[in-house]
Amino acid sequence: MLKYLIDENVSPVYTIQLRRRKPDLTIRAVGEIGTPPKSTLDPAILLWCVRYGFSLVTNNRSSMSVHLSDHILQDHHVPGIFILNPDLGIGDNLNELILIAEGSFDDEYQDRIVFLPIP
């Protein structure tokens, strides 16, 4: 099953509700013990995700594609990046993340940015 690292700019309600709704899903948030500290730059967060096998959940629509391209050009990979949809409610975004975690294949989202909802 996927593991999610929640970006620091995402509301903490996502971490709380994902843990509540899906307790067997591994959820970490930037700034927690054992994760990148707050204010860590995105390239370093992607390296952390690779090292620990986490997919990133973020609302960074503007620069994440550039960071991922640079990351791949340096021969790195990432399990996946999921971008929350500001037009969906929190509950709908959460449902999408749970559906993805429950129904994904190994490496299905590797080196990809996925904008929620999945078509």
- When pLDDT is cut at 50, 70 and 90, the band that residue 61 belongs to is confident
What is residue 7's predicted lDDT score, i.e. its pLDDT?
97
CATH number at residue 40: 3.40.50
* CA–CA dist 39, 83 (Å, integer): 19
- When pLDDT is cut at 50, 70 and 90, the band that residue 1 belongs to is confident
**Residue found by looking up tokens 């949809």 in the block:** 85
- When pLDDT is cut at 50, 70 and 90, the band that residue 110 belongs to is very high
The structural domain count of the chain equals 1
The domain of 66 spans: 3-115
* pLDDT, tens digit, 9 for 90 and up, residues 11-26: 999 999 999 999 999 9
- When pLDDT is cut at 50, 70 and 90, the band that residue 119 belongs to is confident
**Residue found by looking up tokens 């990148």 in the block:** 36
Give the chain's mean pLDDT.
Answer: 95
- When pLDDT is cut at 50, 70 and 90, the band that residue 62 belongs to is confident
Q: What is the distance in angstroms between the CA of the first residue and the CA of the last residue of the chain?
A: 20
Q: Is the peptide bond before 117 cis (omega within 30 degrees of 0)?
A: yes
Helix H or strand E segment including 67: helix 64-73
Tokens for 26, please give them.
Answer: 């591994």
